[in-house]
Amino acid sequence: MTSLGAAPPSDAAAVEPQRRPGVHPQLVVGAVLVGLVVAMALVSLVWTPFDPVRAVPAIRLQGPSATHWFGTDRLGRDVLSQVMAGSRITLYVGVVAVGISAVVGVPVGIVAGMRGGVPGAVLMRGADVLLAFPGLLLALILGAAFGTGTTTAMVALGIGAIPAFARVARSATLQVMRTDYVLAARAANRSAWAIAWRHVLPNIAGIVVVQCSVTYGLAVLAEAALSFLGLGTAPPTPSWGRMLQDSQQFLGVHDNLALAPGIAIAVAVLGFNLLGDGLRDVLDPRLKGVR
């Protein structure tokens, strides 16, 4: 009888791994945080509480209040409105950077994985050399060569993330190439193009999506760092990194100026990281026990 009393908790523990799909906590929290940032960007296109770039010297450096939730900055601009408008540049840089790295990196990885041999080795060694240049360093190099700005930042971060996409795509492609259906397709004399398009790409799409989310988080961080250094988005366009840099001279006195953009950056990065982790658990075939 006593053993019956002890049974329910252990039962619950045994059932736990078979959670219903769709309630994956990381995925949900990640999606909500990313959704929040996207919603903020969309709303800011049509409405912000105040004009984010309009300076009103009379109300400079005010603390949080009912009218200005996060206060005003050294020029009397509304901090909340700036954070909202700043989300646009963050998302924009991320989309372009991830787009560049995926569009170049995935085909390189697929070719290296399907071909192997000399072309595959050449492509992957090229990716290895690029790996010695992290995105932020690349952005500094391109900034020196062509001038700094949003475009330079996006392109540099995109190029910097190509090796990671190539590696992920290559190892996933190698797995797909060992499957029976690819063997069947080759036996049926399908062209390499057809195999890549019909079999490889759909099967590695999941892991590529995960890589997109992870890269997006990194791009948000790097963009903020560049703007913080004054080498990213130029004023007056609001950006979280530069807001943080501007806040430095008022640290300890007007901490709201640092906290508002700081929290925004952390929420965006956390959102994309959690989304990536959650998607990996849901999409990665290796973790589902399917080879």
Partner 1 sequence: MKRQVGWLAGQLVATLALASALVFVVLRVLPGDSAVVALGVNATPQALAQWRAQHGTDRPLIAQYGSWMGGLLRGDFGTSFVTGRALTPLILDRVQVTLIIVGLGMLLALVVAVPLGTLAAVTHRSAWGTVIAGASQVGVAIPNFLVGVLLVSLVAVHLGWLPAGGWTPPATNPADFWRHVILPSVALGTVQAAIITRYVRSAVLEVMREDFLRTARAAGRTRAGALVRHGLRNAGVPVVTVVGVQLAAMLIGAVVVERVFVVPGLGSLLVDAVQQRDLQAVQSIVVVLVALVVVINFVVDLLYTVLDPRLRVVAR
The distance of closest approach from Cβ of residue 255 to partner 1 in the complex, given in angstroms and rounded to an integer, is 5
Does 210 sit near partner 1 (CB under 8 A)? no
| 33 secondary structure, DSSP code | H
Among 262, 282, 284, 285, binds partner 1 (CB under 8 A): 262
Does 157 sit near partner 1 (CB under 8 A)? no
Tokens 């969309």 map to which residue?
A: 42
For the segment 118-137, give every residue that binds partner 1 (CB under 8 A). Answer: 128-129, 132-134, 136-137
Mutual orientation of helices 162-177 and 201-228 as an angle, nearest 10°? Answer: 170
Percentages (nearest 5) of helix, strand, coil residues in the chain? 75, 0, 25
Does 43 sit near partner 1 (CB under 8 A)? no
Residues 218, 36, 67: CA angle, nearest 5 degrees? 115
- Chain center to CA of 112: 25
In the complex with partner 1, the residue whose CB is nearer, 58 or 132, is 132
Neighbouring residues of 262: CB distance < 8 A, sequence distance ≥ 6: 244
Tokens 């640092």 map to which residue?
A: 258
Does 40 sit near partner 1 (CB under 8 A)? no
In the complex with partner 1, the residue whose CB is nearer, 25 or 202, is 25
Tokens 């009397």 map to which residue?
A: 76
Size of the site for partner 1 (CB under 8 A): 41
List interacting residues with partner 1 (CB under 8 A): 128-129, 132-134, 136-137, 140-148, 217, 221, 224-225, 228-231, 244, 247-248, 251-253, 255, 258, 262, 265-267, 269-270, 273-274, 277
